[in-house]
Structure 1
């Protein structure tokens, strides 16, 4: 038995040492070493590099600069601190100013080093206020761990960090502090990947950026800015696009003056200079936002730390920049109850099963979202969302209508508008639309609940495979479908063609057929649909948009 044990140990050692591994990699900044380990699948291995700097420590309210490099071998084995940001309660800060690092997962076989692999660069969400390249962590299980995507899709996965909150998105609306520093950080990370990923076995000419929420909007911004010409081949926006009402702040000066007042700076022509000299933690704390919503003051209207039209990274309104993505393949979609994350705070009664939600709350919420167009717009919207109710709507009818209003306004309709825009200007590029509808797994949610905001993340990152005890087989089905579609698309520009089988052929989206695929565990031929909520898309993008804006005293 002792001899058998020795032979087995020797066999395991031989198997491990024969695994393909990049070892030490030469980048533009110097040598880096990560770690290599076995993953699920016969003779599957993974090279992982955590914490590679893609830019120098950023200057206060300055664009990122190239990293000066290092001597010796940089041991890239630990995630670095997130960018300085508020805690969720907005009472303290976490993270550091020196934060522009990225992480890389490279799948390997047993013998030959991987080469020319598609590259997927992840941009995290968090309302441009919070977040990290590795995501939330529970017992060293990081949400944005790229292992499952890389292993199952045979792609390289990169996750990068960027400045958020005041340091990433404050703008004085002029050349003093132009803003968009977080977007510039993302761009710097993408450019670093383009310059260096070949050394890791990636194809620099096949980079897909993908992200969710503010990360999804960031993906859209990275596709339509003229700064990324030739750097990005494809993009995937999950629950967020550049046309979302929270994605652009058109009056940044107002919040900049509020921050200046909070930190004791003047609000005149000396404001920018004073803010640049203010302590980073103090600045971050001064960027707290009002997160207590109500039907008359929905939270979405308070998300004012966001990208701005700066005449540089975004030289024009986002809707006028889509021609820059004419050759970039694009997938965009939303979750069927994406808006629940906000309505649960704006109208808490929707989550209380025994308590009804007053119709007046629905009317007030619609009025708040349409106030720029006046009462007529609110009346038309109310009629749209209550059609078919009859004289006695049920509690569930009212609650679902409240969620539908914010889902459409905040996420779904802008996403559809972005898809129509992309398709209308696309030359060589393809456009794909989806709706994610796997019901939320949150036990406290109502029985009628669909997919809430961010519910898709666990499936894209393969958590049902990584932590199988927490999921049912149906959840592994959903995760397998999403990883297959996403990585096929990254490889070929077509979610149906690649190295992974898919449950149903996903047709391209266009202005004639309006087709999309509905993603859940029951996928089959009935999952291909068309004209996603077209009645409501038409209301918000056509009827509402063309109503005259009123002057509010």
Structure 2
């Protein structure tokens, strides 16, 4: 009997694979594209397209333009090169200027999918690094969309956009207004809106989601008037347009610094010179100074970023949330998002044998408050040390540094964006979360929570694709996040859709400004209120009341 059952299952799998639905060649506005199809389970299949151009090879320091198209059938089976960027050590460059390509994952059953929700991912990397496929280990790419697509029955799209000098250098005027990376993102979203129906997607149900600089980009995309009618929902994971590193307030200064490094003039001929200079040299000239300290934190060194150009970003971001009044929005942070930055500024934080001094904490508070002056720095230090007592232990001091940078760099701006979105909403819904699954990095302190980018492995289902590297509890976290994220993409409500969730996640605008604490133990106690209200009030009201200091 068991043998017959085994034969039956094998035959079913064979027939299912042989008869699986597949799109085959797809007609896009540029021409025909052919991807690959494979089985992902019993009567479940995946069409994967990699390296579809969504714009022409971009002109240097110019907006993207439509691709001219191609003859025949384009084999869309390999990731394209990343956009030209610094390597991790900032000693060389990698990637190409011809980089505006996207990737698509389409889940299929016995019949070809139709009218599926679409999720478009925007990667992070400080506006300096990154690519649509993400980091790679043995062909296991971080941003592989297969698990999300299969488990949530959604189409997933990832793409490249220009970063560093090529993506965000700006002269602050019409010569080189900047925001080229944001325009690339807009071009990719527009391409998806125009073409995704041919892949089985619903062009009127597009959700954009992203992390870090990609999360901030998501916020810029929904508040920009350029995307009207293109985006239905959005998810920001650790970053919004109000973050202190999201806007470059003095782009001309940094453009001139880059020009000087590559031998270009700083007068009216600067942009023409930069456009004809070796792009590797211009990219290398946009290095970030990593030799930071408590007195010069790294958050103030991220100067190749978006600018208020009067076009894509026509005004201060906090005045533009009316453009997202009908776009459902999830935004949140990791509970120790600032850890990665804090350890660059004060390296003793990760060293159990080293002491982080009160003087270093005070110096950091002063540095983070520099735009508001010395008195604001003193107030910031007092606000974060009010519960220390006369003899704070080493652990409390180190955790205070992480809390301060987390609040300043990510949490408070995100909470502010949630309030603005909720206050401006018409039909839109607003949801807030805190991700608190402890980091899996063994060298981190025992008190460590979720570091910056820790949630990405769960959103993209890595505990399922590489099961030996995770415990069952990690698969629970991944299952929960994919369920909430894809339900939201389907319906605008993270609790309603094809996937079961462990607890109802209430809207932010409910009494008490509720949020969901996401980890492997989600239950009714995970729904909480008023996230770090005292510190949010401090930064947005008390700190903001100090007069701005011109540097």
TM-score, normalised to structure 1, is 0.97
Partner residue, 1:31: 32
Seen in structure 2, the aligned counterparts of structure 1 residues 11 and 149 have a Cα distance that, compared at 3 Å, is closer
Partner residue, 2:403: 404
Partner residue, 1:215: 214
Contact 1:29 1:69 in 2 (8 A): yes
Partner residue, 1:48: 48
SS of the residue 1:545 aligns to: helix
Partner residue, 2:223: 224
Map 1:187-202; keep pairs closer than 5 Å: 187-202=186-201
Q: In the aligned structure 2, how far is the partner of 1:258 from the partner of 1:379?
A: 33
Contact 1:35 1:48 in 2 (8 A): yes
Q: In the aligned structure 1, how far is the partner of 2:8 from the partner of 2:317?
A: 63
* Alpha-carbon offset, residue 373 of structure 1: 1.4
* Alpha-carbon offset, residue 375 of structure 1: 1.9
Q: In the aligned structure 1, how far is the partner of 2:164 from the partner of 2:263?
A: 19
| Deviation digits for residues 148-179 of structure 1 (CA, Å, limit 9, x no counterpart) | 00000000000011000000000011001100
* Alpha-carbon offset, residue 293 of structure 1: 1.2
* Alpha-carbon offset, residue 6 of structure 1: 11
Partner residue, 2:16: 15
* Alpha-carbon offset, residue 550 of structure 1: 2.9
* Alpha-carbon offset, residue 236 of structure 1: 0.2
Partner residue, 2:269: 270
SS of the residue 1:438 aligns to: coil
Seen in structure 2, the aligned counterparts of structure 1 residues 247 and 490 have a Cα distance that, compared at 3 Å, is same
Runs of 5+ in structure 1 lacking a partner?
none
SS of the residue 2:303 aligns to: coil
Seen in structure 2, the aligned counterparts of structure 1 residues 540 and 8 have a Cα distance that, compared at 3 Å, is closer
* Alpha-carbon offset, residue 10 of structure 1: 7.0
Seen in structure 2, the aligned counterparts of structure 1 residues 234 and 8 have a Cα distance that, compared at 3 Å, is closer
Contact 1:420 1:511 in 2 (8 A): no
* Alpha-carbon offset, residue 237 of structure 1: 0.3
Q: In the aligned structure 1, how far is the partner of 2:509 from the partner of 2:7?
A: 62
Q: In the aligned structure 1, how far is the partner of 2:426 from the partner of 2:349?
A: 44
Partner residue, 2:60: 60
Q: In the aligned structure 2, how far is the partner of 1:79 from the partner of 1:204?
A: 24
SS of the residue 2:48 aligns to: strand
TM-score, normalised to structure 2, is 0.98
Contact 2:13 2:43 in 1 (8 A): no
Q: In the aligned structure 1, how far is the partner of 2:175 from the partner of 2:380?
A: 41
Contact 2:212 2:237 in 1 (8 A): yes
Q: In the aligned structure 2, how far is the partner of 1:6 from the partner of 1:531?
A: 57
* Alpha-carbon offset, residue 275 of structure 1: 1.1
SS of the residue 2:203 aligns to: strand
Please state if 1:449 is matched with 2:448. Answer: yes
Q: In the aligned structure 1, how far is the partner of 2:6 from the partner of 2:377?
A: 75
Q: In the aligned structure 2, how far is the partner of 1:15 from the partner of 1:428?
A: 42
Please state if 1:141 is matched with 2:162. Answer: no
Q: In the aligned structure 1, how far is the partner of 2:549 from the partner of 2:10?
A: 77
Contact 2:124 2:215 in 1 (8 A): yes
Q: In the aligned structure 1, how far is the partner of 2:357 from the partner of 2:265?
A: 45
* Alpha-carbon offset, residue 69 of structure 1: 0.6
Computed over aligned residues only, the root mean square deviation of the Cα atoms, in angstroms, reads 1.5
Q: In the aligned structure 2, how far is the partner of 1:224 from the partner of 1:319?
A: 9
Q: In the aligned structure 2, how far is the partner of 1:358 from the partner of 1:476?
A: 39
SS of the residue 1:38 aligns to: strand
Partner residue, 1:243: 242
Please state if 1:107 is matched with 2:107. Answer: yes
